[in-house]
Amino acid sequence: MTHNTPLSPRPLRHLSEAHRRVLTTAQLRAHGVTTAELNEQCRPGGPWQPLLPNVVLLHPGPPTSEERLRGALLYAARQDARGVPAQPTAREPHGPDYPEAMITGLAALTLYGFSATPPLLSLDHVDVLVPRSRRLRSAGYVRVLRTPALPGPRTVTGLPVAPVPRALADAVTELADPHTVRRLLTEAVRAGHCEPAAVVKELTRAKLLHHPHVVDAVDALLAEGRALAEHRLYRMVREYGLPDPLWNVDLRLPGGPHLGGLDAYWPDQAVAVELDTRTPRQDDDDLWPEYARKREHLERLGITVVHITPRKLRASLEQQAAVVRTALMASADRDPAAYVVVLPR
């Protein structure tokens, strides 16, 4: 029996070639392969070989990167009463389901296309995320990571993969090189995989922010995130025909106190835009009242303040432009604002 020979009495033609090349022992039994036949096929020099505990590679030679990933998921997936992972259905044309298991860590980031991660075949291990309640040990090249609550997986090349922020946190947990950590976090934001706040939230959950090399990388990440948000704000003004504002200014009352910094200000309309770049690392109990006090003070002076988050700029640039345009148009119906001094920031 070769790796291309259908198994009897129930062939696996409904599976893709990749799925037919890696199966669990329970799946093989369910398709008519006896223990004796399995042992014969997996003998030294035979056509099959054990890949992981209860997972068989149905051809000789080394596994491909896809086979390693599918084998890891088959090993970690929750199985039914017969010990068989779910099989593909008409609703799952991309392959079988892997209940309660998903790829995370460096392997997941490589699947997402990160350039700062090694090729899949060069990874010593593949991280698989499972619920904390699962009694499952790491084995072979599979490292099992447990979590109280599984995140919703993303499907990449037909495989369940942890969201980028969670995969980053799981990868950073095992990395001690500051340069590598910084490259990964920066690429996540620069390539548009996720927002800085989502990354910081996961790093906080993983209790990684007490490591100096992670803190330094997060500082670089936040600076990168703010720079990208500012660039999107410039694009919004240019591409949607808004009048040019004064960029990055401080406001003061004449001879009076400092009113705060703003990312964009239209003095003729007394409309301001402020990017809300708070992150979960910061104490919202302290920081949000500061935002609110500044906004209330400016609005008492007749200045309209529009708060925009980097996420909104990334997801709906046109919608945010409409919000700013509405504020600019509404200025004609308001009383004139108080006179303020505008200074470069």
DSSP 181-240: HHHHHHHHHHTTS--HHHHHHHHHHTT-TTSHHHHHHHHHHHHHHHHHHHHHHHHHHHHT
Question: Residue 194: is its pLDDT beyond 60?
Answer: yes
Cα gap 310→58, rounded to integer Å? 48
pTM of the model: 0.78
Question: Residue 262: is its pLDDT beyond 50?
Answer: yes
Q: How far is CA 83 from CA 31, 34, 75, 102, 283, in A?
A: 13, 15, 11, 18, 47
Which residues, listed in sequence order, are joined to residue 130 by a DSSP beta bridge? 146
pLDDT value of residue 93: 37
Largest CA distance in the chain: 92
Query: What does residue 255 show for φ and ψ, rounded to 5 degrees?
Result: 65, 10
Q: Cα(first)–Cα(last) distance of the chain, in Å?
A: 74
DSSP 8-state secondary structure symbol assigned to residue 38: H
For the chain, state the CA radius of gyration.
Answer: 27
Interval 247-269 mean pLDDT: 92
Other beta carbons within 10 Å of 34: 10
pLDDT value of residue 12: 45
pLDDT tens for each residue of 308-343: 988 899 889 999 999 999 999 999 888 889 999 999
- Return the amino acid letter for 71: G
pLDDT value of residue 83: 62
- Structure tokens given for 317: 């640039």
pLDDT tens for each residue of 34-64: 999 999 999 999 999 999 999 999 999 999 9
Question: Residue 15: is its pLDDT beyond 50?
Answer: no
pLDDT value of residue 110: 97
pLDDT value of residue 1: 42
